[in-house]
Structure 1
Amino acid sequence: MISPEEVKEMIEAELPDAQVEVQDLTGTRDHYEVSVVSSSFAGKGLVQQHQMVYGALKQAMSTEAIHALALKTSAPKS
């Protein structure tokens, strides 16, 4: 299992300017909803944005510490 704080820290390590909100959907610390706003997403489509977040969480995803992940990503609004 992985804590919401650890999920947030992993994303922030890859996307330092990101505003990250993590919600544990089931209380089991393996099903998360994550919202990420980052200037790194500017000009990128949703698939690319999600790939960037999955890249940040690669280790947790590959070990099944995170079983399910719902993502909301966007660039900051001007």
Structure 2
Amino acid sequence: MPMHAQEIEDLLRETFPDAEIQVAGDDGVHMSAMIIDESFRGKNRVQQQRAVYAALKGKMDGPSGELHALALTTKAPD
């Protein structure tokens, strides 16, 4: 079952409550997200993206995952 942008944002908001989050995409399978959060400060891109994948609680795991692709932009606030 495809995921809607709001479902993805809700999952991300649980882990990153104070973040600026924008989720886009209309097919429910290939989506993009931008997350700007203070918790990313001092972390490299891989560490940031791992934190986002963990926040998605398995929704991208394996071929049976509900979300096939999520293009990520992550950073700490300026």
TM-score by length of 2: 0.89
Q: Quote the residue 2:71 is aligned against.
A: 70
Distance 1:46 1:14 in 2: 17
% identity of equivalent residues: 36
Structure 2 unmatched runs, 5+ = none
Q: Does 1:61 align with 2:54?
A: no
Alignment RMSD: 1.0
Map residues 1-78 of structure 1 onto 2, 5 A cutoff: 1-24=2-25, 27-62=26-61, 63-77=64-78
- Which has the larger share of helix? 1
Query: Structure 1: which amino acid aligns with 2:36?
Result: V
Q: Which structure 1 segments of 5+ residues have no match?
A: none
* Aligned partner letter, 1:46: R
Question: TM-score of the superposition, structure 1-length normalised?
Answer: 0.89
SS at match of 1:47: helix
Partner of 1:61, secondary structure, is coil
Runs ≥4 residues deviating over 6 A: none
Paired residues, number: 75
> Comparing 41-50 with 52-61, which one deviates more in the overlay?
52-61
